[in-house]
Amino acid sequence: MKNINRRDFLKYSGGGLAAIVIGSQMPGLSNQAHAAVSALDITITDTIKEMVTHNAINTAECYYWVFKEARLPADCPGPIIYAHTGDTVNITVHNTLDEPHAFYIPGMFDSGPIQPGDTFIGAFTATKGGTHLYYDNLNEPVNRVMGLHGCLIVQPLVPVAGHKLTPYDNPTAQVQLLFDEFGSAAHWPGLGWADENPATLTTGSRQGVWLLSQSSPNLFAEVGDYPPGQDFPAEEFVQRFRRDAFSHNSHDLSIASDIPQYFTMGGQSGHFCHNNPVSVPMARVGEPYLLRVLNAGLMAHSMHIHCNHFYILSVDGVVQGAPVGNIPSGATLLRPGLIWVDTFTANPWGVSSHKYDLILPFMRPPDVPNVRGIGRGGCPDAGSATIAGGTTWPPYEEFDRAMGKTILVRQSPLCYPAHDHSEPSQTSQGGNYNCGVIGGQYIIGDLNVALPTYPNPFLGGNLPPQTFPMDEDFAMMIFREDGTITYGCNEAEVNGIQQDCRDSGLRSQDDRPDFPPV
């Protein structure tokens, strides 16, 4: 039953996947979390959330059950929780809803049913490095799909002796080889994954989360209004969520279908997703970036990225490649092991291939010609000559070109889409294409080339070295007010870009500085 009928409801426009760290310090993640805590204080409650569209006719709201951490806003999904392998995590869970709920991490923790009005106090040990879904496993899959889910990230504090840090306690030989080569091998110039570089404001352990889910406003509202103490029938929920007849009037909830109308990544979709650094990897060439993908919902997504390919590091928690000692001396990544893909299928939770760890090398886009041709995006070869007398890399000629006649859009930084090839998930409320699961990869510079110093239009002063020129609406997504770079921090919430978008407050680029800088 909805708590919002008896108190002021929590209405949150959604910043998308706020983060929280267990303990006071986690190297490399200082810019990626809103709070560092000694224990988790979670309330199982509900909220009404504004979704991708917003106008006077259609307020585009959806009701959710949520895990709310005491220091963070209520949102679906719950916050990203970071911990080190071996950390003890103290947790308190309050259930304010009218039916039993739980907090569950497969193979690690199970609160068991928490009755309405009760509080659970316990602890668990973060026993295994990797990506984990925490969720309510009661009345499967209703409670989880209604919004009671989030991401737990456990990673080692120190690397395997003699090697570079990876996200895993016991990496396979090929995963370890890949991470050892980042920043060391000629074909991966730049930094290792965990390496920092104060001169360019580059933090270590660069990573983000694609937590996929789907939402049905009508069905979720009906579950929320179900009689107190009774579970909504799970079989009926799944049938209506997956098989209800489509309605072409999805914006009118009085006649709308029960199939999902909102398809989200980190609780956001459309513009609010693909302009959010927590969902969109934003880094320079030479700054490898780890991406953790989970599907908490009931529908498959076929995720595809432009510009770079992924190396698949882990599938369903199983680290890929041959175990240490099983590969002959001198083996390379060309041997059977890690797969190099640009499209992969994220199945519903509980089905094979529902969870992935992937890494984007953040190499130069392979279709940019260099002196040896194309397809050598990771190498430091010089760019080819252009007819205009420049070079293909860095793409100076593109930097100062603009698209559009009224509102100019600078072609810098280099923004490439990442989206779902399952077409229905690209829409909102049965229409509004490109308002669904849409992210990207944004190349904001190159560690391996000399670039002029460009002004920072958001903060004043200059952008860090090796950063491409950009305008205010982009710079405000990446840089904090103290000048540090975000690499995954939810800057859409922190600096107000979320509300600016709703108020049409984003600056156009009519005030952009001279290029190149005078």
What whole-number distance in Å separates Cα of residue 437 and Cα of residue 212?
8
Residue 349 has pLDDT above 60, yes or no: yes
Q: Which residues pair with 370 in a beta bridge?
A: 373, 383
As a whole-number percent, the residues of the chain with pLDDT over 90 amount to 45
pLDDT of residue 433: 76
Q: Does residue 466 sit in helix, strand or coil?
A: coil
Instruction: Grade residue 502 by pLDDT with cuts at 50, 70 and 90.
Output: very low
pLDDT band at 11 (very low <50, low <70, confident <90, very high): very low
Q: Give strand pairing partners of 215.
A: 262
Longest dimension (CA), the chain: 73
Tokens of 449: 């080339």
The per-residue pLDDT for range 372-400, each reduced to its tens digit, is: 888 777 777 888 998 888 889 998 888 87
What pLDDT does 124 receive?
95
pLDDT in tens, 271-303: 778 877 778 899 999 999 999 999 999 999 999
Distance CA 18, CA 33 (A): 7
Of 106-110, 187-191, 496-500, which gets the smallest average pLDDT?
A: 496-500
Of 388, 19, 61, 84, whose CA–CA distance to 251 is shortest? Answer: 61
For the chain, give the mean pLDDT. 82
What is the per-residue pLDDT for 56?
Answer: 59
Q: How confident is the model at residue 474 (pLDDT cuts 50, 70, 90)?
A: confident
Residue 160 contacts residue 169 (beta carbons within 8 Å) = no
Radius of gyration of the chain (CA): 23
For the record, the structure tokens of 257 come out as: 């279908």
**Per-position DSSP letters for 160-219, written without gaps between them:** STTS---SSSS--HHHHHHHHHTTTSTTS-S--TT--BGGGTBPSS-EEEEEEEEE-HHH
The CA distances from residue 478 to 58, 66, 113, 463, 511, in Å, are: 31, 28, 41, 11, 19
Q: Which of 159, 193, 180 is nearest to 85 (CA)?
A: 159
Beta-carbon count within 10 A of 399 CB: 19
User: pLDDT-based confidence at 251, cuts 50/70/90?
Assistant: low
Q: For 69, list phi and psi in degrees, rounded to 5.
A: -80, 140
Residue 146, C-beta contacts closer than 8 angstroms, at least 6 positions apart: 64, 65, 220, 223, 224
Query: How far is 72 from 402, CA to CA, in rounded Å?
Result: 39
Report the pLDDT value the prediction gives residue 361, as an integer from 0 to 100: 93
Interval 254-277 mean pLDDT: 85
Residue 207 pLDDT exceeds 60 = yes
Q: pLDDT tens digits for 478-495? A: 877 767 676 554 444 444
HSE-up of residue 131 (Cα within 13 Å, Cβ side)? 28
Beta-strand ranges (E) seen in 421-506 are 438-446
Number of other residues whose CB lies within 10 A of the CB of residue 25: 10
Indicate the DSSP class of residue 366.
Answer: T
pLDDT of residue 99: 95
Q: Which helix (H) or strand (E) segment is 274 a member of? A: helix 271-274
Q: What is the pLDDT of residue 8?
A: 38
Per-residue model confidence (pLDDT) at position 4 = 47
Q: In what order do the strands lie in the sheet with 282-285?
A: 282-285, 438-446, 414-420, 301-305, 343-346
CA 198 to chain centre: 24
Q: What is the mean pLDDT of residues 101-120?
A: 97
Please, how many CA atoms are within 13 Å of residue 432, restricted to the half-sphere of its CB?
23
pLDDT band at 477 (very low <50, low <70, confident <90, very high): confident
What are the phi and psi torsion angles at 173 (to 5°)? -60, -40
**Cα–Cα distance for residue pair 281/142, rounded to 1 Å:** 31
